[in-house]
Chain A
Amino acid sequence: NAGVTQTPKFRVLKTGQSMTLLCAQDMNHEYMYWYRQDPGMGLRLIHYSVGEGTTAKGEVPDGYNVSRLKKQNFLLGLESAAPSQTSVYFCASSTSSGRAGTYEQYFGPGTRLTVT
């Protein structure tokens, strides 16, 4: 049971380049989330998904797109990277079963992205 995994672990992009971050979970969780963590800003929600084929915007969605084609995977895309997107990106998933669910969140190890 690997939990939540993220690839790649590190990436350096030039301004304007595109990339996709992959998040995978093997816990059969319905909910998945993408966050970014910046010094002094804490964790901010970018996008989230409440199930396969559904996605929604979080607090800071501009410049990012996501897809959830399979329940276990949640992809975060940057179409045209900007230096302001330099950050550490975390994926999380949570248990859910309606009101009885605990919604406990499990986090991946993070992807450190630098945009020059």
Chain B
Amino acid sequence: KQEVTQIPAALSVPEGENLVLNCSFTDSAIYNLQWFRQDPGKGLTSLLLIQSSQREQTSGRLNASLDKSSGRSTLYIAASQPGDSATYLCALFREDNFNKFYFGSGTKLNVKP
């Protein structure tokens, strides 16, 4: 059974700090991995998607990496800003099941001004 874990559950950092959010998964037979941001009371906004054949994707101050062999993905946020405060979730599709998206429980980030 695929399990997706995000540690820590919550993180508080001062503005300007570079930070890394972690996502671990137990089965390396993944098709893709997607990072989302969720603001309180809002839906999920897609940030980055990494196909299983890719090692990383970048968008602005965000960089997501994928290491299937170690069962790990990281989301790197450069020069964090108070506006980055939100819950970040990772989710993945397995190679053999496109009907189920496995979600982590999220990391709640607070960037202090």
- Of chain B, the residue at the smallest CB distance from A3 is B43
- Of chain B, the residue at the smallest CB distance from A50 is B99
Min distance, Cβ A106 to any Cβ of chain B, angstroms: 6
Given contacts A104-B46, A105-B46, A107-B44, contact A96 B98 (CB under 8 A): yes
Q: By the criterion CB–CB under 8 Å, are B44 and A90 in contact? A: yes
Q: Which of A58, A90, A107 has the most chain B CB atoms closer than 10 A to its own CB?
A: A107
- Decide if the interface of chain A is mainly helix, strand, loop or mixed: strand
Interface size on A, residues (CB 8 A): 22
Given contacts A42-B105, A43-B103, contact A107 B45 (CB under 8 A): yes
Please, how many angstroms separate the alpha-carbon atoms of A102 and B34 in the complex? 10
Residue-wise interface mask of B (41-53) relative to A, using a CB-CB cutoff of 8 A (1 in contact, 0 not): 1111110010100
* Residues of B in contact with A (beta carbons under 8 Å apart): 31-32, 34, 36, 41-46, 49, 51, 89, 91, 93, 98-101, 103-106
* Residues of A in contact with B (beta carbons under 8 Å apart): 31, 33, 42-43, 45, 48, 50, 56, 58, 90, 92, 96, 102-110, 112
